[in-house]
Structure formats: C-alpha cells, structure tokens
Structure 1
C-alpha cells in the first residue's frame, strides 16, 4: 500500500474504530433542497448517511439542477409541526381553513379529536 493512500475496506475499519457509522441510502432517487429564492434538485442521487458523535450528516452525489420557486409552493410560515393528515381531518370535519385547523391543534396539544370538539363547540 502506498503511504497516505487507503483502500475502502481499511477506511471503513478505521471509521468503525472511531465510532463513525456510514450507511448507503439505496432507496433514495431524488433530493430536493428548498431555498429562499430557488430550489435545487439532485436527480440520480447517491446518498450516504454518516453518523458520528450523535450527529447525522449526509453526503449527496448526483446531477444537480436549479429550479425557480413556483408561486404554488408551500411558504415557510405554512409549514406546521402537526401531521398533514391531522390538519386535513380537522379541516374536513369542521369546515375551517388550514390556519384555524393548526391553531385548534395547537390548543388541543396536537390531538385532532379534541381540536375538532373545541372548534365545533364554539
């Protein structure tokens, strides 16, 4: 072996000794990074997740394209910590809009049934 050069098996062994785990994510085909002014789409993506000291990082290799943000995309303020199915359920059962449904879920500690009851009792 040439000094300073490692084969992949040796690198994996050394990483394991240092507590670094590497995992190929073979089922990922496309990665989309959402930016403020444009999005980045990485197609034919090869993704490796690396875990060290409790932190996960990702190495992504593929064909990248820049895409302008479309007017119909979800704005950052519309993103909610609540499950989209729960939000939709509250909206469908009560006839309120998305923002009201999210507020109701917040007031019901994320419980859709309680959020529905609270909205219907008003």
Structure 2
C-alpha cells in the first residue's frame, strides 16, 4: 500500500496516522444530526492520545424532531449483505431501523444490538 505524502510527514514527526476508508460519518448533537457523505477520515495517535479527523465530503444537517425519511443506498445494502451474509430484505429493514447507519445495521443483524 502506498503511503500518501501527508501521512509520511506525520510519521516523521512521530505521529501515527492511518486513513480510514469511511463511507459516511454521522455526528449527533442535542439539536441536530450532521451527516457527512464520502468524507476523508484520518485516525492519528501521538503520546497515547488518539484523534479522528474528518474532512471533505458532502454535508447534510437535519434538525432533530423533523420527520426524517431514511434514504437507503443500494451500495450500502450490498456492503452490509457482504459483511453479514443476510438477505436483502433483512438488511434493508436493519438499515431503516439503524437510520441508515451501516455499522449499527451490521450490529443489529449480528444480534449485538436491538
């Protein structure tokens, strides 16, 4: 795997950096939900502290309490099916229940969350 130039610079400074291949990042505040599609995500660690940096991507902000229609993307369904071995209808139900959160849907399908 080729290490990007920015990662090499961080590593020379003693900072461990790893790119995370994220599809979506969801941030929930008391009043709103911030959804970032196709972000660039880096996990760094230095002196025992970890940080996750999210940049780029398309951002959508939803107010809590508004009727939210969950948009389930076909690529998300396919990915979750591959990860869990579950049929499409179960995967779609889990993604709706998880409000489109892929990791949460996988946990639901694996019986780790209700």
TM-score computed with the length of structure 1 as normaliser? 0.45
Greater Rg over alpha carbons, structure = 1
User: What's the TM-score once normalised by structure 2's chain length?
Assistant: 0.48
